[in-house]
Amino acid sequence: MDSIIRIENLIFEYQRDETEKPVRALKDINLEIKRGSFTAVLGKNGSGKSTLAKNLNGLLLPTGGTIYVNGYDTKDEEHIWDVRQSAGMVFQNPDNQLVSAIVEDDVAFGPENLGIEPAEIRRRVDKALNDVNMGAFKGKAPHLLSGGQKQRIAIAGVVAMKPSCIIFDEPTAMLDPKGRNEIMKIIQELHAEGITVVLITHFMEEAACADRVIIMHNGEVFLDGTPEEVFSQGEKVRSVNLDVPLAVELAAKLREEGIDIPANIIGTEEMVEYLCQYK
Amino acid sequence: MLRDITLGQYFPGNSWIHRLDPRIKIMATLLFIIELFIVDNFIGFLIAAVVLGIIVAVSKVPVSYILRGLKPILLILVFTFALNMFMVKGRILWQWKFLHITAEGLELAVFMAIRLILLLMGSSMLTLCTRPIALTDGIERLLSPFKKIGLPAHDIAMMMTIALRFIPTLLEEADKIMKAQQARGADFETGNLMQRAKSLIPILVPLFVSAFRIAQDLAMAMEARCYRGGENRTRMNEMKFKGRDYAAIVMMLLFAAVIIIESKVL
């Protein structure tokens, strides 16, 4: 089995209240996420990207269509916990997802829920905390940590459950640039270790790290491809009120001036590397 | 001012007290509270204070940290002190118009104040020296015999864990809201008690709203991490009585015996 998440004709509707007509947040989405891949989902507020994320581990259930995670249907109540164990989720607000007042107890929360042996939980907690470089903080209280550190604890809490896939729902939206960089580094490390990553974001630079970019617009998949493919369609990206990464924009302007920049340059660092040849 | 509340706050450490089984510490705290109500003379309080002092010294929690926890009850303390001092009838020491201080009143006032202070310090030692999770685990285990009569022991324990975890978060939230209101000209510091109480309403309403928002986020995050109640749940830190726990039980009973004998004899 090659794809970890398979979405077939997904429709999701919700009602603000009884009398109102249901709002269709997701309109007939078909996607496959490959095992071990790194997918970034971009979109403006209200594009349905967060709703999509919550559908991927059964927090929201599809109105129509089906989602398979690791082969389990998310609507199958018998396997809902298998779904959630397979597809962990990190949320936007680092404060509101930590359960315990001690870092290591919080990381242990997930494995405890899975009914794992105490000695094995201990091992997993220590490993997960080291993975996110927070080993030294295991006895601390979360409210004394910075936003970026709290978010790293939240990631460790998910990693300790040994998921095959982690869905990050705008994990850096509430962080400062330093915290943002830390989180992005950890996400890339987890991906390198073989975990499938789905990153919901509205930062273009973050999306440029992925190997696949999906742009959502009005509850539909608007663009889907490698970052190079997607960002080379600058006009289309801008038409849904998103920006292309700075490096891509610069490359386009340089091309207009007759300087040939390869199409695969989308990250700031690669751009610097490339331009410095002209020194 | 909101940051001074130490009740329900854990002070990280690795002392003998910290490592005791939480069930022992909960029972000891309950016993200590009961003993404080049994005590009927100052010598009894002196014994209790010495015992508490030893516990504090062993736990290595800074005394200033514990004293800070007394601040929120300062008002209650002063109020009960004054009430006892002026209201009790007896041998009059000082009089001014209808106000009078009696020797018996003064004695009772000091007596009650000591009891209140020891009560608060003693019970705050429990939360200062016990990880919140261990504390709630302990409560859950102590309550589990009552599961048979339908007491949701696990749910109660989980609610307490979350409450303890979110005290600082909600305080921060309240602080933020207060600052936002002050920036727009709200005044919390002047005026009489009524006016000040009224000016707190615009803080409480948004605080409630954000508490519900946090609760919703947290519930979703817990579900995403496979939380499904207490069934089939394991614990990273298992609870087992060790040598020091038995030693603590002996000391606890010894102390209780001393208090009982002392209050009866004198």
CATH no. for residue A192? 3.40.50.300
Asked if A161 is an interface residue toward chain B (Cβ–Cβ < 8 A), one would say: yes
| Sheet-wide strand order for A72-73 | A23-34, A3-14, A64-69, A72-73
**Alpha-carbon span A269 to A274, nearest angstrom:** 9
CB atoms within 10 A of CB A177: 9
- Same-domain status, A22 and A146: yes
A144-166 confidence digits (pLDDT tens): 899 999 999 999 999 999 999 99
Predicted confidence at residue B265, as pLDDT, reads 59
Q: Looking at the structure, tell me whether residues A121 and A249 fall in a common domain.
A: no
Q: Do B228 and A116 touch (CB under 8 A)?
A: no
Report yes or no: B215 and B165 within 8 Å, Cβ to Cβ.
no
Q: Of the given ranges (A27-31, B5-9, B108-112), which has the lowest mean pLDDT? A: B5-9
pLDDT tens per residue across span A235-253: 888 888 888 888 888 888 8
To the nearest whole number, what is the mean pLDDT of chain A? 89
Residues A236 and A257 in one domain: no
CA torsion B119-B120-B121-B122 (nearest 10°) is 50
Listed by number, the residues of chain A in 108-137 with a beta carbon closer than 8 Å to a beta carbon of chain B are 108-118, 121-122, 125
Domain identity same for A60 and A81: yes
pTM: 0.79
CA dihedral A212, A6, A87, A151 (to 10 degrees): 30
Q: Residue A96 has which token pair?
A: 């509101």
Q: Which residue of B has its CA nearest to A162?
A: B225
Q: What is the pLDDT of residue A51?
A: 92
Q: Over the stretch B54-88, which tens digit does the pLDDT of each residue have? A: 999 999 988 888 888 788 788 888 988 888 888 87
Give the span between the Cα atoms of B128 and B9, in whole angstroms: 6
What pLDDT is recorded for position A100? 86
Q: Where in the sequence is the domain holding A78, given as residue range(s)?
A: 3-242
Same-domain status, A166 and A273: no
Asked if A275 reaches chain B (Cβ–Cβ under 8 Å), the answer is no
Two tokens at B147? Answer: 């599961």
Which of A78, A71, A73 minimizes the C-alpha distance to A61?
A73
DSSP B51-110: HHHHHHHHHT--HHHHHHTTGGGHHHHHHHHHHHHHH--SSEEEEETTEEEEHHHHHHHH
CB contact under 8 A, B224 and A81: no
Q: Same domain, yes or no, for A252 and A167?
A: no
pLDDT of residue B1: 42
Give which of A86, A108, A91, A117 is closest to A160, Cα–Cα: A108
Residues of B in contact with A139 (CB under 8 A): 12
Q: Tell me which of B234 and A89 has the higher pLDDT.
A: A89
CB contact under 8 A, A99 and B221: yes
Write B40-48 long-range contacts (CB < 8 A, 24+): B40/B263, B41/B262, B41/B263, B41/B266, B42/B111, B42/B114, B43/B262, B43/B266, B44/B259, B44/B262, B44/B263, B44/B266, B45/B111, B45/B114, B45/B115, B45/B118, B47/B255, B47/B258, B47/B259, B47/B262, B48/B118, B48/B122, B48/B259
**∠ CA(A75), CA(A80), CA(A85), 5° rounding?**
135
Q: CB of A266 within 8 Å of any CB in chain B?
A: no
- A123 and A215 in a common domain: yes
Q: Which is nearest to B111 in space by CA: B44, B64, B56?
A: B44
Assess B266–A contact: CB distance below 8 Å, yes or no: no
Domain total in chain A: 2
Shared domain for A164 and A253, answered yes or no, is: no
Chain B residues closer than 8 Å to A83 by CB: none
Instruction: Give residue for tokens 């300062």.
Output: B74
Residue B7 has a pLDDT of: 46
One domain, residues A92 and A213? yes
Q: A99 vs B218: CB contact, 8 Å cut-off?
A: yes
Read off the pLDDT of residues B150-198 as tens digits, 9 standing for 90 and up. Answer: 888 888 888 888 887 888 888 888 989 989 888 988 777 777 888 888 8
Asked if the C-beta of A104 comes within 8 angstroms of chain B's C-beta atoms, the answer is yes
Q: Which residues of A touch B159 (CB under 8 A)?
A: none
CA gap B64, B6 in Å, rounded: 11
Report the interhelical angle of B153-183 vs B132-143 (nearest 10°).
140
Do residue A175 and residue A160 come from a single domain? yes
Asked if residue B249 lies in contact with residue B24, where contact means CB atoms within 8 angstroms, the answer is yes
Cβ contacts of A108 on chain B, cutoff 8 Å: 236
Domain identity same for A109 and A230: yes
Same domain, A225 and A254: no
CB B10 within 8 A of CB A141: yes
Contact of A85 with chain B, judged by CB distance below 8 Å, is answered with yes
Q: Which of B10, B168, B226 sits opposite A85 (nearest CB)?
A: B226
ipTM of the complex model: 0.86
